[in-house]
Structure 1
């Protein structure tokens, strides 16, 4: 085998391995269960959270999704948006510390939502929308631990919490960041002007839709950039090999 053929073969192998690594990393990142938008203002009222559940299995479908809502910093006034093909079961829990609101004292809050009956197949994802009346104003983040059950009985536990300064865990739980009021968060401010619940919910849904589109565009551009980089590496390898061939 000539030196030129050997160089070309090595260059092609390196490029193929690099491409495989890029696609594997991208696939792993996109397979996480996430919540959208990623942030809201503390104490925000009348908004919508969308839990995005992708199917990461090649030979099984997602048939059950369980989202656990925190009760130490409860989300108040939770309502589930009807999802075609899916049935939602809402579980409430008595709060250890009741929450005082303008409408009275709240002693119970939703602690779990379970969706069953539908299927998320390979290469697909499903958004599960949950409306809320008010978010807590006494914490900086809410963690929504999630269980994803597949048709083959496999259960993926998205329950790991990221530590400051540490790498992202293998199965991270969806996290909603709560920002200071007026800091440009996605949600409405708890002390904002009086608007109807329906109008606020529509605005939040539009924000969520925009967020989803931005995520898709950013991810597509990111992958495209990585692919172009790999192709550039491959082209450079061929150019070097041709140069060596002509000089020999």
Structure 2
């Protein structure tokens, strides 16, 4: 069953075709990777899926519903959240506060409830605190809950960003370069974390330059080059695709 369908989506900037007529069918519960050389349009595609950009043309459907014109916070409310290539934590807030911000979308208290600090508001805040601490426990950061986010190691910051995105209980998680800047040991930890998340039934869309990571976790892979989808298939199919080899290595490099 397709949870996300991208139908002929394009994004033009002053005539530049950053993404051109790309279609994808993402099945529920799979890890779907989007790869391609620098400037291929991968992050632009993510920005359209998440609602940060509006497509120039084309449609996107989530669980059969047309979400093409929804804004980013509305897309998040539907169940699609994301991380970014460059970590975007609130570095001067605590680890706990960063997760609580991710939980904000689930809060139901009205402004009046918050002003009055009534029983409904207090109960909801207590429940959010407990949930945030449980989430931090799941990534080994419970003991650092009151530390400032900027004091975490790079790998810990990346895990915190992912868990903050998970706080709203999304159905699809978009991960943009989750192992960027990591050493092999840190990358392996993140890969295992991604696999564990996927085992819970979470659908994951992944942009990643580390081909060892991509080939090791992906159920399906789409390849972009200059904004155009040039290939789509399993890891083995992508590894042996002539267009993919040419896009990454250049014409004639396969036999060099």
**Which structure features the higher share of strand residues?**
1
Give me the TM-score of the superposition, normalised by structure 2. 0.24
**Which one has the largest radius of gyration?**
1
Taking structure 1 as the reference length, the TM-score comes to 0.25
